[in-house]
Structure 1
Amino acid sequence: MLNKSFDRINLLNKALDGAWLKNSAISNNIANVNTPGYKRQTVNFEEVLRTEIAKSSSAQMIKTNPKHMDHMGNGQISIEEQANTSYRVDDNNVDIDVENAEMAKNTLYYNAVINSVNGQYSRLKSVFNINK
């Protein structure tokens, strides 16, 4: 039971890291909304998190041939630049309305994950108090 709880906490920790990195990327986008040539940054943590959840909840797959595709990503959260679009004449592709909506969405997500972490720690605390 404790292993599952700590695995869940570790997964939530990775989610918080990704949400924090996404917040930084969105903040950079907002700060550079009027910078000519600036390209919007995105974070791939949702895909990485889905991969980690699938990895922890399913049977491990074995690669039997080097030509087979890997079933999981590398688990690395990264910032990616969207260099292939441009909304304005100055080659900037940041839309302030989209960024503000993404910031609000990410803030709600971060707070929900924090609540989940607090719940996990409360459950662990109650288990340890019962066993005293």
Structure 2
Amino acid sequence: MLKNSFQKIDLMGKALSGSWQKNSAISNNIANVNTPGYKRQTVNFEEVLKNQMNYNQSVTMTKTNPKHIASAYTEDITAETISDTSYRVDGNNVDIDVENAEMAKNTIYYNTVVNEVNGQFSRLKTAFRINK
């Protein structure tokens, strides 16, 4: 039980880290809304998180030959620049309304995960107090 609890907390920590990176990218987009030629950035940490949730710790893949297929499991959360669109004549592709909506959505997500981490620690604290 204890191992499972700490694995959940670790996963939620990674979710918070990804959400924080997404928040930084959105903030940069908003700050550069009037910068000619600026291309918006996005962080799609949800897919990395989904892979980590589905990754089975009991089965490890070992690549013994360069021709072997690599595991789908990855820990890299990266920012991606969206350069194939432009909404304005100056080449900027930041839509302030979309960025504000993404910021609100990401803030709600972040706060929800923080509340869940606090709840998990509270449950652990209660369990330790009962077992004294």
The reply to whether TM is greater than 0.5 is yes
Number of equivalences: 132
* Distance (whole Å) between structure 2 residues aligned to residue 8 and residue 44 of structure 1: 20
Aligned residues: CA RMSD: 1.7
- Overall identity of the aligned pairs, in %: 67
Q: Is 1:31 aligned with 2:22?
A: no
Structure 1 residue aligned with 2:8 = 8
Structure 2 residue aligned with 1:85 = 85
* Distance (whole Å) between structure 1 residues aligned to residue 3 and residue 127 of structure 2: 13
* Distance (whole Å) between structure 2 residues aligned to residue 63 and residue 107 of structure 1: 39
Deviates more, 1:47-56 or 1:105-114: 47-56
Structure 1 residue aligned with 2:55 = 55
Displacement, 1:83? 1.2
Displacement, 1:57? 7.4
Residue aligned with 2:101, SS: helix
Residue aligned with 1:42, SS: strand
Deviates more, 1:90-99 or 1:53-62: 53-62
String of CA shifts for 1:51-97, please: whole Å, max 9, x gaps: 11011478555668754533424211111111111111111000001
Q: Is the 8 Å Cα contact of residues 52 and 74 (structure 2) preserved in structure 1? A: no
Q: Is the 8 Å Cα contact of residues 55 and 73 (structure 2) preserved in structure 1? A: no
Please give the TM-score of this superposition, normalised by the length of structure 2.
0.91
Structure 2 residue aligned with 1:104 = 104
